[in-house]
Amino acid sequence: MAAPILNPACPGSFALPYGVRSGLQIAFNGLVKHKNKDFVINLLSGGNIALHMSFRWEKDKIVAINAKIDNAWGNEIRHSNPLHHDQAFDLQVRVYPGHFHITTNGVLLGDFPHRLPFESIGAISLEGNVHINNIQFSQFH
């Protein structure tokens, strides 16, 4: 299992040397910063984005989930944004054979079908106004 990534820089990209496989949980522990600022967490597959999670406050208080393949965005799936400014959060992404299962603070945010083979994911990127304390990797059953 990969070692945790501690206090990753934002913006920044981080390689996943062991890749992604079914049964992997990626857990992000962080703090939402200042009001009216968005942040993004991506799982990257080469030049593509296999999973794009955009936490938004500026226009609508939503989480937009999508994928970008060959420079084209797919259909965006929107959920109500459960996070609050100046609040700590735990975000878990579980990899199942057919989809990602995403929870925030133990509550289901949503499932997102794989649009690219999850085995092709090789990095994580962070953007925007968020502080991530750590990114941890574990197996779930």
Q: What is the pLDDT of residue 82?
A: 95
Give dist(CA 53, CA 92) in Å, integer. Answer: 12
Question: pLDDT for 80-115, tens place per residue?
Answer: 999 988 899 999 999 999 999 999 999 999 999 999
Which residues lie closer than 8 Å to 98 by C-beta, 6 or more apart?
113, 114
* Domains annotated on the chain, with CATH: 5-139 (2.60.120.200)
Question: pLDDT for 58-89, tens place per residue?
Answer: 888 999 999 999 999 999 999 999 998 889 99
DSSP string, 84-95: -TT-EEEEEEEE
Give the Cα-Cα-Cα angle 13, 74, 64 (nearest 5 degrees): 65
Question: pLDDT for 9-37, tens place per residue?
Answer: 999 999 998 899 999 999 999 999 877 68
Q: What is the pLDDT of residue 130?
A: 92
Both structure tokens of 85: 């400014």
Total Cβ atoms within 10 A of residue 67: 24
- pTM above 0.75? yes
